Amino acid sequence: MISNMPYRPKQPFWVLEAKSDGPDGTEDSRCILEEPPLGSQWLDKLLGNKPLQPGEFEFTAEANWPDRFEHFPFSISGLFIVSGYFRELLCNCNPPGFCHFYPLTVTYQGAVISRDYHVAHLVLELDCIDRELSGPPDPNPVGSIEYIRAVIDPRLVPDDVSLFKVKGHLSRWVVRDSLRKKIKKAGITGCLFYQP
């Protein structure tokens, strides 16, 4: 059978998400944080790319283990939580202002066990889809139109940018292959990479 899909080249970019399962193949084996309460008031502001003011909201999340959790323990619908260690690596590989970070307190059974985590709101959005090689548009998009298979045009991604959102794919983080390699070398845990 001959596919009607256009040729899709291997790309120097990867989608980054938090893993859904742990070493034994189950979600319970992950060292994760439970889903934080999603208040519509601040979520609406973030989705509208409006920064939160210091102290405007207090973020907390419950860990499922008292003494171990990952550097990238949570992602859902464009909401990402990162450790301080992961945040530092991301900031060193991107231009200033690419992402807003908000402190998050980690608890276990009501007791505070870490204040070294952040809700990360990636604000850098690029219109960089190669529309000739991508396709087709998703017939059931969530939010704005998304391609089922997207090809990123590297000429439209500035050289100093390693992490961004693609216009039309606002719930996904995209990383350069060079950043993916740095994340792996740094031992950042909880990451899942796949081609756009």
What single string gives the DSSP state of each residue in 120-184? Answer: EEE--EE--B-TTTS-PBPSS-SSS--BSS--B-GGGS-TT--EEEETTEEEEEEEEHHHHHHHH
What is the tens place of the pLDDT at every residue in 116-166?
A: 999 888 889 999 988 888 877 766 655 455 666 778 999 999 999 999 998
What ranges do the domains of the chain cover?
Answer: 13-194
Judge if pTM exceeds 0.95: no
Query: What torsion, rounded to 10 degrees, do the Cα atoms 36, 177, 165, 191 define?
Result: -10
